[in-house]
Amino acid sequence: MLEKIKISILNHWFIFILLSLTWGSSFILIKKALLAFDDLQVASLRIAIATLVSIPIVVYYRKKIRWEKWYLFLLVGLAGNGIPPFLFASAQTQVSSSLAGVLNTLTPIFTLVLAFIFFRHHLSLRNITGVLMGLTGVLLISFSNGIDFGGDLRYILMIVLATVLYAVNINAVRLFFHETNPLIILSTSFVLFGPFSFIYLWHSDIHQVILEHPDGLTSLLDVIILALVGTMMATVYFFRLLQKTNTVFASSVSYVIPLVAVGWGLLDGEPFNALYIISLLLILTGVFFTRK
């Protein structure tokens, strides 16, 4: 029994690290996709690709889907993958990918607040301490990396709103779909709201951009990776982590995302800062507390 528990915990941490690496790279993919497409095209194309993948999954699981919960599937879909992609894509036309990654760490804070106010979840002192330690580590990384929080406040608030929606998504999945197959949750939600993205793409000039823009094909590849890996695969694993652990620990993935961004920067020749080590220790300790 004890051995099974140890294996389960290791699986949780493996998924946590995998999600951190995957989502930590998503902001760079969005930035590269914006070289050819506009923000609405990036978000719509990302959703459209994920919807195409979801259709055969829904057909396969159609008898196991509780269609009377369609409004809950729609809520989870819009809050997790429907509205945030547009907010992030629009915001990153004006703010850096590093700043977007740092602001994304507000997700555990809003998750904690919403869980307490609306979903009546029990919050322990360890949870609260872990969230605050993680946030402190992220702020240290931000300032030591010279991230500028200036600029148009409107675009920063877009990312803040996206993190609030992520928090709604996390709490809703935990409350309403605790035992539902994550693949069913994700694919059903995309089938409900995803078709609207095709309408926009049909009336846009995206086919001309792909064929005529010098970065058209490269940006398309970036969006495909973003949709299949950063959205479909990562979200399924995230829902599984959420079902097996707790909302605070699962949402703490966003604390490690800036570390991944900094790591890519170091590999690219950016200077190393000693505060990175302190920040890393704070973040990992905070994540450990939320896991407990």
Between 275 and 205, the higher pLDDT residue: 205
Domain that holds residue 169: 2-291
Residue 282 exposure: Cα atoms within 13 Å on the Cβ side: 19
Residue type, 223: V
Cα–Cα nearest to 43, from 94, 78, 95, 74: 78
Lowest model confidence (mean pLDDT) among 29-33, 39-43, 225-229: 29-33
Kindly report, residue by residue over 170-219, the tens digit of the pLDDT. 888 888 888 889 999 999 999 999 999 999 888 888 888 888 889 889 99
Phi, psi of 119 (to 5 degrees): -105, 0
User: Could you give the number of structural domains in the chain?
Assistant: 1
Kindly report, residue by residue over 48-83, the tens digit of the pLDDT. 999 999 999 999 998 899 999 999 999 999 999 899
Q: How far apart are CA 107 and CA 47, in angstroms?
A: 21
The pTM (predicted TM-score) of the whole model is 0.79
Helices 234-244 and 153-176, interaxial angle, to 10°? 60
Length of the chain: 292
Q: Is the pLDDT confidence value at 160 over 90?
A: no
pLDDT band at 274 (very low <50, low <70, confident <90, very high): low
Lowest model confidence (mean pLDDT) among 82-91, 124-133, 175-184: 124-133
